[in-house]
Amino acid sequence: MKTIIDIAKAAGVAKSTVSRYLNGGPVSDETKEKIELVIKKYHYVPNTFAQSLKAKKTSIIGAIVPRLDSFATSQTLMGIDDELRIRQHQLLISNASQNLDREIEAIYELARQKISGLLLLAAQVTDRHLKAVKDCGIPVLLVGQRHTAIHSLIHDDFRAGHLMGRHVLEKGHRRIAYLGVTERDIAVGVRRKEGFNEALKEYPDCQVRYYESGFGMNEAVMAAEALLEEWKPTLIMCATDNIALGVMKAALVRRISIPSGLSVTGFGGYDITEITHPALTTVQFHYRQAGSLAAESIISLVNGETVDMITTSGCRLIERESVDNLQ
Amino acid sequence: MKTIIDIAKAAGVAKSTVSRYLNGGPVSDETKEKIELVIKKYHYVPNTFAQSLKAKKTSIIGAIVPRLDSFATSQTLMGIDDELRIRQHQLLISNASQNLDREIEAIYELARQKISGLLLLAAQVTDRHLKAVKDCGIPVLLVGQRHTAIHSLIHDDFRAGHLMGRHVLEKGHRRIAYLGVTERDIAVGVRRKEGFNEALKEYPDCQVRYYESGFGMNEAVMAAEALLEEWKPTLIMCATDNIALGVMKAALVRRISIPSGLSVTGFGGYDITEITHPALTTVQFHYRQAGSLAAESIISLVNGETVDMITTSGCRLIERESVDNLQ
DNA sequence: CTGAAAGCGCTTACAG
DNA sequence: CTGAAAGCGCTTACAG
């Protein structure tokens, strides 16, 4: 491996000049050419550790994700990665495996790696998160959840719930089961439901019951079975597409046909919902785009620019075949 | 931020002693205690850049993946991450977005980051890959594909194909369409098919036609539609679960019921196949476990230990509801 | 525009 | 077991 000294010698200049060339400092065209030539010849690439050690900063953005095997996470990560690449930054992904402790640890661990900014895709924000974020003293952007103390990029979960609520109500549904998730997840567990409740206000005659499921498809199947045992709604509104998939499975097993015997909706816009049978009516979030936006924002934050405390990424209703028209 | 000097001063020892303590060198119990105390007190963590710069090595393992939004990739990555964590190594993920050029670039880029080992989850291995691997001079383990020049960890695709072939043949299917993928992907495109062909040898009366699809679900839907237009097999054997999902969609749209009107099988063992209706018969690969194994192997390689040039991860047939019994 | 010098925070022989 | 010294490969004031 060649070092900056080798290059300097070969080019007949001082290493400080080479460094200046590398960092876009003032260098005459003549020496610029000489250096360029030598660098090409030797395939020289600066040692990032030495750079970071001296310059005391890196161009690495860290991202902590609760899990890797989720459509939303993958998409968001790809959006982040794309944008970061364009802006010459590196992405360091840390997977917490749905473990809160590991999430906190990861914050400290990434800080140790001297990342210059952190993207936090947490499902919930605890005091320990807050403390860790404060301790490590680097810019942080919360993605998918909001918190008054941290810059946040959120999806419009309330509007999503409202959109979907209005849609199914307009289709004439008046016996609706809402199959949600834990309220500790504010975005998914609370906001979507609140949006739905808002739509409900205009239909006081509508019967609604609330149920809760885990995030996994199998948990959803079981939750749906229990629900269907207890009540016969005309529609089950599911807090995520995965849960909707579970509900469809449970319905099919019971020979309830969708949508004639039971309507189902999701939230997310996962690829798979397009090819289920029937295709699922859902609200699509723009995960990939949100990822790009997040990357952009965190870089602004790192550069000391002002960024809105809260940015909202849109959503859109995709009407497909899983909701019966009762009108 | 405290440095090793601050710790040394506070503990009343030389910084080399602190360093020795940190790296498990010979230190008396007495000084060990003093140092420990100070480190705790100041929450001291060594600067990784300085460490790497001096020690000329890191405990980072790089992983290049063709895409992030794939079940197989996510699972493998989680397995890798878990094992690496146990062994005190860090994982640096680089996403190539299904772009061969970016895959090659990533090899050089990761080498620049001084990773100590590389896990390559490529779908195909070209001469340019080989050159890059050679150029960067670090241990590399190919995951999911094999190549004589590189240590490889593969799934038993041949056996998977054989297992599935025998299974459907024993169920009495004699008009089979094999919906495969590009042969540039040796593991998925070639080996699985070869395994199937092997099973076929015992049933010379079986009619078989071969078709090709892309990896995406929508591409599979289209491929299946074309196939069904042209031929009426009793079973479509799909090279991946995703493709099987696409076929199920196409069949359902045409009101062909599964498995009575058409049987379908997949390969992979993705979570989703458990809750499709009917549940999909498939061959499960152990992605997560393979990931752990890969992490283990690359660390051995980094440590200069000998590792088999090729390790094979198993698979198992999961018989569910999508194959009709024609006997 | 250019170079010499100092220093980033560690580790590792080398003496003792 | 312990310390002083050299050095990893860069960047950044400071002179010139």
Pick out the nucleotide with least CA–C1' distance to A32: C1
Across the interface, of B78, B246, B277, the residue whose CB is closest to A249 is: B277
Where in chain A do CATH 1.10.260.40 domains reside? 4-46
Residue A203: is its pLDDT beyond 90? yes
Indicate yes or no: CB of B245 within 8 angstroms of CB of A217. Answer: no
* SS3 (DSSP) at B36: helix
The residue lying closest to nucleotide C7, measuring its CA against C1', is: A54
Q: Identify the CATH assignment for A157-285 out of 3.40.50.300, 3.40.50.10860, 3.40.50.2300, 3.30.1490.20.
A: 3.40.50.2300
A194 pLDDT higher than 90:
yes
CA distance B203 to chain A (A): 34
CB count in 10 Å sphere of residue A189: 18
How far is A313 from chain B, CA to nearest CA, in Å?
21
Q: Determine whether the interchain pair B95/A81 forms a contact, defined as Cβ–Cβ distance below 8 Å.
A: yes
Nucleotide nearest to B47 (CA to C1'): C9
N-terminal to C-terminal alpha carbon distance within chain A? 74
Mutation target to probe the B interface, by most B beta carbons within 10 A, among A105, A247, A277 is A277
CATH number of A4-46: 1.10.260.40
Where along chain B do the CATH 3.40.50.2300 domains lie?
60-155+287-313, 157-285
| Digit-coded pLDDT (tens) for A14-32 | 999 999 999 888 899 999 9
pLDDT in the model for residue A109: 86
* Contact call for A49 and B78, based on CB within 8 A: no
Cβ B5 to strand D below 7 Å: no
Q: Which CATH superfamily is domain B60-155+287-313 in?
A: Response regulator (3.40.50.2300)
* pLDDT tens digits, A45-99: 899 899 999 888 888 999 999 999 999 999 999 999 999 999 989 899 999 999 9
Please list, in sequence order, all residues whose beta carbon lies within 8 angstroms of the beta carbon of residue A12, skipping any fewer than 6 positions away. Answer: A34
Is B113's pLDDT higher than 90?
Answer: no
Residue B273, SS3? helix
Query: Residue B59's closest chain A neighbor by CA?
Result: A113
User: From the Cβ of B54, is strand D under 7 Å away?
Assistant: yes
Q: What is the rounded distance in angstroms from the CA atom of residue A294 to the CA atom of residue B210?
A: 45
How much is the mean pLDDT over chain B? Answer: 94
Residues of chain B with C-beta less than 8 angstroms from the C-beta of A78: 67-69, 95, 97
Residue B243 pLDDT > 90: yes
Would you state the pLDDT for residue B1? 77
- How much is the average pLDDT of B99-107? 92
Mean pLDDT of B267-287: 95
Task: For residue range B131-149, list pLDDT tens digits in order.
Answer: 999 888 899 999 999 999 9
> Of all helices (H) and strands (E), which one includes residue A52?
helix A48-55
From CA B106, how far away is CA B111, in angstroms rounded? 8
Task: Please report the pLDDT score of residue B303 as a whole number.
Answer: 87
Cα of B276 to nearest chain A Cα, Å: 6
- H runs (alpha helix) in chain B: 4-11, 15-22, 29-42, 48-55, 71-86, 100-112, 127-136, 157-170, 192-200, 217-230, 241-253, 287-302
DSSP assignment of B86-114 equals HTT-EEEEEE-TT-HHHHHHHHHHHHHTT
Other beta carbons within 10 angstroms of residue A288's beta carbon come to 19
Which residue among B45, B77, B90 sits closest to A68, beta carbon to beta carbon?
Answer: B77
Distance A60 CA to D10 C1' (A): 18
Confidence of residue A154 (pLDDT cuts 50, 70, 90): very high
Return the higher-pLDDT residue of A61 and B109: A61
